[in-house]
Amino acid sequence: MASKLSFPFSCIVFLFLFVLPVFSHFQYPHLQPNGLLDNSTDHSPFGFLKKMQGCHKGEKLKGIRDLKLYLSHFGYLNYESNPNVTNPKEDSFDEELEAAIKSYQVYHHLNATGTLDAPTVSTMVMPRCGFPDKQTHQHSDKTLHTVSHYQFPQGTPRWPEGKRHLTYAFGSGFPTRFIPPVARAFSKWATASQYFTFSQARTYQSADIKISFARGSHGDGSPFDGQGGVLAHAFYPTNGRFHYDADESWVIGAVPNAYDVETLALHEIGHLLGLDHSQFQSAIMWGTFIAGETKGLSSDDIQGIRALYGS
């Protein structure tokens, strides 16, 4: 009799000690006792850039194609508009790539050397928002509506006139402890804009703005890349989608090696309202972030939102 009971009991023990913990890891982002979201990866998707430090025009080096893709994704490179480029996928450092790096360096207040020098690499590998710095994907800023340091994306998307109250909701499984800091971020934009008011919607489907955690490819055409690369992204009016990367470490406040939920909410809400990235490093709409830091709205952010909505 004892032998018949021992096998089912061992299965139960195995289920609770091994299977359920593994299963829970793949559920919605798992909160640790210290408030950190569980992740065990320590590899940055931008880390390949460190191996290319020092490369310059005329070189052929494995990885240059990935550098081109990086600069293209964030708005600094567009080979499609240049008929003189015959094979943009080659691992060759051409004149077009040099111009793109100079454009990146100017935008980020670096010396415009056109080479992948140490300060440029240090900036490029920083975790950041997933939206491009330049919506035109060209070297010139002529098509951007620029006032002060803040910017509006091409076409200046905005919420319809008269649509001053926006509702927001959180996806299934969104950690409840992260709802208050996101709500505070909306409140700060309401005060800053002197135009919008916000409230939590009764249902997710009815909300103007939908907020959730996601990882990898999640159906919006902008897949996340794992820990240490793109932290979050949101879409311009009137799309209303806002996603955090679940593979990052998320906390409330300034905690080493983790990212403040409210700081990133402030940034992504700026996109949801129609602001582009700012060239002012103290602005919340600056595109890169440092683990352990918290940021608030700057005068540049406030001037930008008021200029956009005439408040």
Of the chain, the percentage scoring pLDDT greater than 90 comes to: 72
CATH of 48-125, one of 3.40.50.10490, 1.10.101.10, 1.20.1090.10, 1.10.1060.10: 1.10.101.10
The domain limits of the chain are: 48-125, 145-309
- Average pLDDT (171-197) is 97
Task: Report whether pLDDT(252) > 50.
Answer: yes
Annotation-wise, does 30 bind a ligand?
no
- Average pLDDT (283-291) is 97
Annotation-wise, does 208 bind a ligand?
yes
Residue 168 pairs with which residues in a beta bridge?
200, 209
Catalytic residue among 59, 262, 268, 293: 268
Annotation-wise, does 277 bind a ligand?
yes
Of the chain, the percentage scoring pLDDT greater than 70 comes to: 78
pTM attached to this predicted model: 0.81
Q: Which residues lie closer than 8 Å to 308 by C-beta, 6 or more apart?
A: 152, 156, 158, 273, 274, 275
pLDDT at residue 86, rounded to an integer: 59
Task: Report whether pLDDT(159) > 70.
Answer: yes
pLDDT band at 125 (very low <50, low <70, confident <90, very high): very high
| Higher-pLDDT residue of 8, 266 | 266
* Mean pLDDT, the chain, whole residue set: 83
Is 145-309 the same fold as 48-125? Answer: no
Nearest of 186, 285, 272 to residue 237 by alpha carbon = 272
Nearest of 58, 60, 51, 59 to residue 124 by alpha carbon = 51
pLDDT band at 29 (very low <50, low <70, confident <90, very high): very low
Cβ atoms of residues 16 and 23 within 8 Å: no
Q: Which CATH architecture has domain 145-309?
A: 3-Layer(aba) Sandwich (3.40)
- Average pLDDT (19-47) is 46
- Average pLDDT (237-249) is 97
Diameter of the chain measured on Cα atoms: 83
pLDDT at residue 155, rounded to an integer: 76
Nearest of 81, 129, 130, 74 to residue 104 by alpha carbon = 74
Task: Report whether pLDDT(13) > 80.
Answer: no
Annotation-wise, does 233 bind a ligand?
yes
Is residue 59 among the annotated active site residues?
no
| Higher-pLDDT residue of 14, 39 | 39
Bond into 156 cis (ω within 30): no
pLDDT band at 31 (very low <50, low <70, confident <90, very high): very low
pLDDT in tens, 70-82: 999 999 988 766 6
